Chain A
């Protein structure tokens, strides 16, 4: 769809020439997000500075029957931030102010373009942080976190983004500006904030967000448990949960990823281990020693060959740096990779990991793991050669088979990356037509013309979009 020149000139008069991008060589940056598998060029990108400007842009798009969507930092991993059916991308990065931090009410009010980690950095001198901590937190925006209901390693104890959002200012697809929720702990009537979080930018565009701030714990202990088999490591996970301990984080990393991390930076992970668990507990200091002992004994009972505690803050930071930079490090061991975001009930962890490795073997590709294991969010990473068409096809087949298996085991298609364009065709294996129709009622309420972020989540509206998306895998996704 070529964009209407009248629309462009109206956008120019609204925002000035500098904040409207239409040149092809500048637009190319916006043709995909972190999922390089799916590509589609927008026709224009605009950079609003205020809620009112967002509203005006939306009204112009609606009048011109042009699709539009918001984009934060473009780190999404399911194709959510691409213009699947062309049209206008509303880039939120100029709306990047922390408007208010209030420690008495334990809240912050931010614009959507604020980078996740910046909020935590701002609050940390006062002993607070923003709890959702995706591994992309140095880059991703809080607006994107809200849209994807982002999680992170510490989601296990502290919950996902939805548990930390109190209020939103939203520009509806009609252009109406509406306050949902507020600066209070609970709201009356239907929980509109609750359904907006995680709706992948398909119900409205968020321009202001009130989040809860979380007090830093008094004490933290971080452990590294080493295993000779991945099975022992995954068995440990549900044994710990069942024993009544909810660690702050519990991550499983397998040998392939350990190798990559250690060749990238010396984080201190044992390169001979089949798998390790990175376990963190936090809370009131006096309770931690005992909890640590219980965790150690569970790990050893499940055949951990080594169990050690990070002795200094530096050691702890290095372990976490290793975890968070693991994906960047993967570039050293493979030319490309494809990340899957399936979730299973955590007691099924041993079963799904075995399945992943088997299915990888069947198609002749290696599958590596860096799981948010405590949450059952498995993140298998399929390594492949982007110049080999066969391998590309096999990578996709492996990923689809894993998702199917997750659903068979009572799990879900995606724990934190969203359906986006990526998993449209899989939605039906998790939800019946009736289930999907019930969800579509919500979209009809807020986005009746379907012009906001079309071609996402639901396969029915995607048909036209899918054909436009260029299915090429090159450098692979992240986690």
Chain B
């Protein structure tokens, strides 16, 4: 057992004492360091390799899960230099990984530009954490995921060296695209220090439609209709339970459309007419303030005004072929339950389900979800679960899993980067 004291003594030889702190309670490590620059990170990695120390790359700490064993040192990049390199005429920005997404977006927005990914639930989420977690929200309909916007990365690898992949250009096939490997790798392949993004222009104006339904099938009918129409849809989500912009027991659809002031008018008319073609309880165009609040609720950034009876302790995210998602959900026994919440990206085949209840009462439901999704060749991740649960966080391993293990072994041969925290114990 390596003690926190021992680690601190060792760390002080590399890094200033005031940059070494005890960990936050939710972070499963013994100690946290806040390096100042890439060189220090490199030294930390070399030290870790030599002394068999494990490292957890850390951003805002909102999406950290315990591994098979506790790790030793968290490396937080939040106290490194916060300088954005933004070339607005190129629509490209290079951003330090430890900066918060919120800070970065605020800076870019003064030039009318943005990284078109969803602001996650917490304001402390960092660029490095968002890219490494690669979770997407309602903007995905139009903008895809980090994989569509990251063009260059700098990473401290297992040798402690800073390595670059890609370039600050929008099109590039020079060498392997390792960026793709690091996106969504949950810190298991190295520590990202800088990330360059393609940017998108912020739309001139947007309008949000909110509609309410008795059943999921009715809600889906609207999103189905829309797929056959021509509209500039910025965001879209179907929700029930804790994510709703109204009564939690109903199904809701939120849609944001965008355009210039003039270009938007005919679209508003068009989308209004589409609402009349489906079995909707009621719908409206929401005010600016309401829109912001509703989207915040749908994205976990604020709590819903209506509460679900019991706080969920399970959250399961699943991806299925688009056409399979509705029939799959309709067959779920918990669909109508008061304390089950749903967050659905219908045009991407993605759904997150929040469930309350002790493990003994929900085991059958969860097992049947896993079984069905597996049959349909999708996958499941437990985003939230009790710490002592018997469920695997990733219960379905893909057929290519052995190749993922080989990648981990080759890129992190001493198993120092967040070992045991990713799929299948990687």
Residues of A bordering B, CB below 8 Å: 102, 104-106, 148-149, 151, 155-156, 159-160, 162-163, 172, 178-180, 182-192, 194-195, 197-200, 217-218, 238-239, 241-242, 244-246, 283-287, 290, 343-347, 372, 375-377, 410-419, 423, 427, 430-432, 434-439, 441-446, 457-458
Contact = CB atoms under 8 A, between A and B. Distances in A.
A182 B377 contact: yes
Interface string B170-205: 111111111111011100010000000000111000
Contacts of A427: 174-175
A244 B112 contact: yes
Given A178-B399, A189-B426, A200-B173, 15 more contacts: A105-B322, A105-B349, A172-B403, A182-B377, A184-B377, A188-B319, A188-B398, A190-B184, A198-B176, A199-B177, A284-B232, A343-B167, A347-B89, A372-B171, A435-B175
A412 B201 contact: no
B174 A419 contact: yes
Contacts of B411: 438, 441
A469 to B, nearest CB: 20
B387 interface: no
B301 interface: no
B169 A286 contact: no
B177 A149 contact: yes
7 contacts: A104-B322, A179-B400, A184-B322, A187-B379, A200-B173, A245-B201, A439-B176
A195 B181 contact: yes
B321 A184 contact: yes
Given A190-B404, A192-B403, A287-B263, A184 B378 contact: yes
Contact of B177 (A172, A194, A283): A194
A195 B177 contact: yes
A436 to B, nearest CB: 7
A445 B406 contact: yes
Contacts of A344: 169
Interface stretch (B47-55, B64-72, B157-165, B359-367): B157-165
B423 A188 contact: yes
Contacts of A159: 148
Interface of B: 87-92, 112-113, 136, 144-145, 147-148, 155, 157, 159, 161-181, 183-185, 189, 200-202, 230-232, 259-260, 262-263, 265-267, 319-323, 348-350, 377-379, 381, 394, 396, 398-401, 403-404, 406-407, 410-411, 422-424, 426
B90 A178 contact: no
Contacts of B407: 190, 442, 445
Nearest to B159: A434
A443 B349 CA distance: 32
Question: Which are the 6 A-B pairs with shortest beta-carbon distances?
Answer: A194-B180, A244-B201, A218-B230, A287-B263, A286-B266, A412-B167
B323 A105 contact: yes
Contact of A445 (B147, B173, B410): B410
Given A186-B319, A187-B379, A347 B423 contact: no
Contacts of B260: 287, 290
A257 to B, nearest CB: 20
Contacts of A184: 319-322, 349, 377-379
Nearest to B164: A435
Contacts of A347: 87, 89-90
Given A104-B323, A149-B173, A283 B167 contact: no
A383 B390 CA distance: 68
Contacts of B164: 431-432, 435
Contact of A441 (B168, B172, B377, B410): B410
B53 to A, nearest CB: 22
A183 to B, nearest CB: 5
A163 B148 CA distance: 6
Most chain A beta-carbon neighbours within 10 Å: one of B172, B350, B381: B172
Nearest to A413: B174
A372 B349 CA distance: 34
B257 to A, nearest CB: 9
A198 B177 contact: yes
A158 B392 CA distance: 37
A33 to B, nearest CB: 15
